[in-house]
Amino acid sequence: MLHRSWNIRCLVAVVSAACLLVAMPSAVADIATVRCVIQPDARSATISVTNPLNSEASCRATCTFETATYDDKPRITCTGPVSAGKEAELCVMHAQTSPLVKFLEGSADCRKLQ
């Protein structure tokens, strides 16, 4: 009886894992192109994303900059809908301290809207 109970538990675990795997593809994000551009005034930057999918998506972008102040590295994360295959400006960052002097890194991803 103990052996049969163990087999049922294993079967339940396998079926549960399979259900999670089937649901998972909608949660996977595609890597997107991000543009983090410091504006001529050095007090703001625009953050844009290009949606790589063939349908409208919810996109997220993160950009990190450097200022003239030691160890001051402002970071911004923006989200918003982006049309299929299009680039869209998600947000504008305004420097709160020193002027922005250098773009350090950026990343973006998009998830298909359900």
- Average pLDDT in the 4-26 region? 44
Per-residue confidence (pLDDT) for residue 113, from 0 to 100: 87
Give CA–CA dist 47/59, Å, rounded: 12
17: helix, strand or coil: helix
Per-residue confidence (pLDDT) for residue 28, from 0 to 100: 85
Q: Does domain 29-112 have CATH number 3.40.630?
A: no
Task: Name the burial class of residue 42, with classes exposed (0-12), middle (13-18) and buried (19+) by CB atoms within 10 angstroms of its CB.
Answer: middle
- Which is it for strands 57-67 and 30-31: parallel, antiparallel or unpaired? unpaired
Per-residue confidence (pLDDT) for residue 51, from 0 to 100: 97
Segment 55-110, tens digit of pLDDT: 999 999 999 999 989 999 999 999 999 999 999 999 999 988 899 999 999 999 99
pTM > 0.85: no
Place of tokens 């350090």: 104
Instruction: Decide which of 12 and 88 is more confident.
Output: 88
- What is the number of other CB atoms lying within 10 angstroms of the CB of residue 26? 9
- Inform me whether the pLDDT recorded for 22 exceeds 70: no
Q: What is the DSSP letter of 21?
A: H
